[in-house]
Amino acid sequence: MTLAFFESEITRLIGLYTAIERASDDMLSAALQSDWDAVNAVQAQCALLIEQVRRLNARVVLSRKDQSAKMKLMRQIVQNEAHVRRLAYPWTERFDTVMSGGAPSTGESQRAA
């Protein structure tokens, strides 16, 4: 395999991460509009992209610069996904607060008194 082949594989891998990041933006936009059908459709597209990433990741070694680009994209993907999750399951935030010993933010502590 040639250097050009490996460089094209790296470019393809970073492109897949970029596509997933864009899809996560689309998913967040749909979630902000409560368009859960669109969220599910984009999620299905992401699953296909992620499968491609898994296969390609096993064959590609990234430079420090490419690794940094990948991590930046992954951080944004994770942030978007967390925001979508908070919108889809708002009760989890209250549950986490209660489980960590904090007071619920919905006025539940006032009702208990």
**From 22-26, 29-33, 56-60, the region with the lowest mean pLDDT:** 56-60
Sorted by where each starts, the structural domains of the chain and their CATH numbers stand as 3-97 (1.20.58.380)
Reported as a pLDDT band with limits 50, 70 and 90, residue 14 is: very high
Q: In this predicted structure, what is the pLDDT of residue 103?
A: 62
Q: What is the pLDDT of residues 45-91, one digit of tens each?
A: 999 999 999 999 988 889 999 999 999 999 999 999 999 999 988 87
pLDDT of amino acid 4: 74
Residue 110: pLDDT over 50: no
User: pLDDT at position 90, please?
Assistant: 81
DSSP letters of the chain? Answer: --HHHHHHHHHHHHHHHHHHHHHHHHHHHHHHTT-HHHHHHHHHHHHHHHHHHHHHHTT----HHHHHHHHHHHHHHHHHHHHHHHHH-THHHHHHHHHTTPPPTTSHHHHH-
